[in-house]
């Protein structure tokens, strides 16, 4: 087993779930709330988690995690947390379950309302070390939330906001590639493109952090070398392991900040009239944002081409558009069901998103609107 201490402690190995009891003991967690969704239950992963613990069958559980975590779901899970006398959380699933777990961990020992802790509303310094301990167990290879300092949560008023603090990083991440073996091809592709986008955007961020850039490039190379294999053969254990490591590495570089792709996908993910998968949005938006940013990233684009074995001057936007096609991803936002009358509102919201500040090329409302129209 590789024991990695970088921001937090990560157990990375096929079968790593078996060490969950040790993590609980080390954290002094005796009555955790398990946060998951109905899909995790149907897939039998909840039973596998419970089997890893002697008393797992009697643990409090919240299974109503929505596809995009919401304030109302956080409050519902918080009610269970308090009524059952819980002292920590285990979040198992994709980024939605883990982000929901972070929201509960925050409000467990911080007064409401939730909105006051949003990054763009000045909430970062309000989040203290009193956050309840959280163990994150990803079952997809995409979000990197298991080692990330942020949670993306849609408030009841429709805004999808980021809650950012080093105190929100899970105390343990259990990365067991075997938990992703049953993931459908379409979800493998979407979450994999999420990881790829994280690695690209954090690398392109203008913040100075060479170690994080090295990690992002390594994650990108791993993901590009494995995503098509993982989609074609979900039982390919090597490809699953490489994709989970790529997702982990994308999450380890979040402190560099993201960019235009996420500044747009965050408010799009908060739309109430249509449910949009975050990774799929990132896949569709990535080529268009690469085109937009190219004039400000010539040297870094050259490094990406070199690391991916591409010819000098190769069109990166076209390269990733072709990858999307091979992965059977949607090619446009309209194909995903994005309503055309929301574009101006999304462009305006993108300018206020916390990811916009670290896009390598400054983008205003008109720039974001142009990107959305080109992707539509």
pLDDT for the residue 170:
97
Q: Phi then psi for 270, rounded to 5 degrees?
A: -90, -5
Residue written as tokens 């080390």?
26
Instruction: Report the C-alpha gap between 366 and 361 in whole angstroms.
Output: 13
Instruction: Report the C-alpha gap between 139 and 312 in whole angstroms.
Output: 37
Instruction: Report the C-alpha gap between 352 and 363 in whole angstroms.
Output: 11
Average pLDDT of the residues of the chain? 95
Residues 337 and 190 placed together within one structural domain of the fold: yes
Instruction: Report the C-alpha gap between 49 and 335 in whole angstroms.
Output: 37
280: three-class secondary structure by DSSP:
helix
Residues 67 and 114 placed together within one structural domain of the fold: yes
Residue written as tokens 């909430």?
123
Band the pLDDT of 7: cuts 50, 70, 90: confident
Instruction: Report the C-alpha gap between 98 and 260 in whole angstroms.
Output: 23
**What ranges in 233-358 are assigned the alpha helix state H?**
237-252, 260-269, 278-293, 298-307, 316-326, 333-336, 343-352
Instruction: Report the C-alpha gap between 7 and 250 in whole angstroms.
Output: 13
**Cα angle for residues 236, 242, 243 (degrees, 5° grid):** 90
Instruction: Report the C-alpha gap between 148 and 169 in whole angstroms.
Output: 5
Residues 217 and 85 placed together within one structural domain of the fold: no
For helices 298-307 and 316-326, angle between their N-to-C axes, nearest 10 degrees: 40
Residues 22 and 37 placed together within one structural domain of the fold: yes
pLDDT for the residue 158:
84
Residue positions counted in the chain: 376
Residues 224 and 283 placed together within one structural domain of the fold: yes
Question: What is the domain-level CATH number for residue 51?
Answer: 3.40.50.1970
225: three-class secondary structure by DSSP:
helix
Residues 148 and 219 placed together within one structural domain of the fold: no
pLDDT for the residue 230:
97
The closest of 282, 190, 189, 180 to 232, measured between CA atoms, is 189
Four-residue CA torsion sign, 131, 137, 141, 147: positive
Looking at 149, 179, 209, which one is the last position of a domain? 179
- Token reading at 320: 């990733």
Four-residue CA torsion sign, 353, 358, 362, 367: negative
Residues 102 and 207 placed together within one structural domain of the fold: no
Residues 170 and 54 placed together within one structural domain of the fold: yes
Q: Are 281 and 223 in contact (CB under 8 A)?
A: no
**Cα angle for residues 284, 144, 324 (degrees, 5° grid):** 20
The closest of 271, 234, 74 to 158, measured between CA atoms, is 271
- Token reading at 231: 């989609």
For 186-230, how does the pLDDT look when each residue is reduced to its tens digit (9 = 90+)? 999 999 999 999 999 999 999 999 999 999 999 999 999 999 999
High-pLDDT (> 90) share of the chain, %: 92
Looking at 122, 148, 179, which one is the last position of a domain? 179
The closest of 178, 184, 114, 152 to 276, measured between CA atoms, is 152
Band the pLDDT of 85: cuts 50, 70, 90: very high
| Count of domains forming the chain | 2
Looking at 147, 163, 179, which one is the last position of a domain? 179
Q: Are 242 and 233 in contact (CB under 8 A)?
A: no
For 275-318, how does the pLDDT look when each residue is reduced to its tens digit (9 = 90+)? 999 999 999 999 999 999 999 999 999 999 999 999 999 999 99
pLDDT for the residue 160:
86
Band the pLDDT of 1: cuts 50, 70, 90: low
Residues 190 and 238 placed together within one structural domain of the fold: yes
Radius of gyration for the chain, computed over Cα atoms and rounded to the nearest angstrom: 19
- Token reading at 230: 């993982």
Q: What does the pLDDT average to over 89-116? A: 97
Question: What is the domain-level CATH number for residue 221?
Answer: 1.20.1090.10
pLDDT for the residue 53:
85
Q: Which residues touch 97 (CB under 8 Å, ≥6 apart)? A: 35, 36, 37, 40, 65, 69, 91
Residues 150 and 217 placed together within one structural domain of the fold: no
The closest of 21, 248, 32, 20 to 146, measured between CA atoms, is 248
- Which structural domain range is residue 111 located in? 2-179
Q: Which residue has the higher pLDDT, 44 or 58?
A: 44
pLDDT for the residue 5:
55
Q: Which residues touch 156 (CB under 8 Å, ≥6 apart)? A: 70, 71, 72
Residues 190 and 206 placed together within one structural domain of the fold: yes
Q: Would the pLDDT of 4 be above 70?
A: no
Residue written as tokens 């791993």?
222
Q: Would the pLDDT of 272 be above 90?
A: no
Q: Would the pLDDT of 57 be above 80?
A: no
Residues 166 and 238 placed together within one structural domain of the fold: no
């Amino acid at each position: 087993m590789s024991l990695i201490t970088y921001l937090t402690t990560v157990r990375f190995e096929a079968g790593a779930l078996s060490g969950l009891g040790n993590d609980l003991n080390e954290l002094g967690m005796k009555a955790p709330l398990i946060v998951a969704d109905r899909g995790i239950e149907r897939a039998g992963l909840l039973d596998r988690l419970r089997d890893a613990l002697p008393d797992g069958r009697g643990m409090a559980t919240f299974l109503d995690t929505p596809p995009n975590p919401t304030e109302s779901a956080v409050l519902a899970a918080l009610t269970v947390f308090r009524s059952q006398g819980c002292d920590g959380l285990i979040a198992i699933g994709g980024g939605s379950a883990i982000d929901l777990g972070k929201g509960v961990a925050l409000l467990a020992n911080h007064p409401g309302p939730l909105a006051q802790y949003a990054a763009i509303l000045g909430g970062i310094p309000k989040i203290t070390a009193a956050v309840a301990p959280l163990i994150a167990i990803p079952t997809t290879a995409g979000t990197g939330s298991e080692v990330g300092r942020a949670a993306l949560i849609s408030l009841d008023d429709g805004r999808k906001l980021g809650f950012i603090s080093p105190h929100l990083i899970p105390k343990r991440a259990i990365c067991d590639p075997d938990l992703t073996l049953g993931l459908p091809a379409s979800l493998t592709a979407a979450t994999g493109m999420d990881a790829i986008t994280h690695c690209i955007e954090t690398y392109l961020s203008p913040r100075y952090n060479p170690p994080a850039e090295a990690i992002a490039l390594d994650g990108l190379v791993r993901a590009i070398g494995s995503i098509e294999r993982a989609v074609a053969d979900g039982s390919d254990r090597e490809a699953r392991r490489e994709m989970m490591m790529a997702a982990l590495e994308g999450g380890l570089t979040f402190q560099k900040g993201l960019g235009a792709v996420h500044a747009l996908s965050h408010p799009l993910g908060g739309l109430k009239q249509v449910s949009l998968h975050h990774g799929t949005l990132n896949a569709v938006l990535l080529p268009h944002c690469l085109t937009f940013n190219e004039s400000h990233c010539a040297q870094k684009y050259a490094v990406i081409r070199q690391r991916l074995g591409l010819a000098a001057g190769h069109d990166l936007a076209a390269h990733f558009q072709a990858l999307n096609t091979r992965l059977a991803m949607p090619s446009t936002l309209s194909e995903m069901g994005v309503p055309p009358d929301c574009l101006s509102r999304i462009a305006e919201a993108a300018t206020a998103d916390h990811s916009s500040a670290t896009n390598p090329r400054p983008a205003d409302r008109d720039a974001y609107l142009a990107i959305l129209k080109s992707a539509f």
